[in-house]
Amino acid sequence: MAKCAVCGKGVHFGNAVRHSHRRSNKIWHANVKSVRVKTESGHQRMYVCTSCLRSGKVERG
């Protein structure tokens, strides 16, 4: 799965715990989108998480 090019946010691992307290592996994916971003050399397509998009850390182009 992709990582955010700005903050490095990716997948997180943990345990899914049932009501009976049995545990299994669980994976949470970050909300990462492929967007076109303005850079110094022009436009570039990169993976950016939606929290970075909303906060304005990236200028879309």
How many domains does one find in the chain? 1
**Region 10-34 average pLDDT:** 97
Q: Within a domain: residue 16? A: yes
Supply the pLDDT for residue 20. Answer: 98
Question: What is the average pLDDT score of the chain?
Answer: 95
Q: Is 23 left (phi over 0), alpha (psi -120 to 50) or beta?
A: beta
Q: Within a domain: residue 19? A: yes
pLDDT tens column, 30-39: 999 999 999 9
Supply the pLDDT for residue 61. Answer: 81
- State which residues form the domain around 50: 12-55
Q: Within a domain: residue 3? A: no
Q: Within a domain: residue 4? A: no
**Region 35-57 average pLDDT:** 95
Provide the whole-model pTM: 0.78
Q: Within a domain: residue 51? A: yes
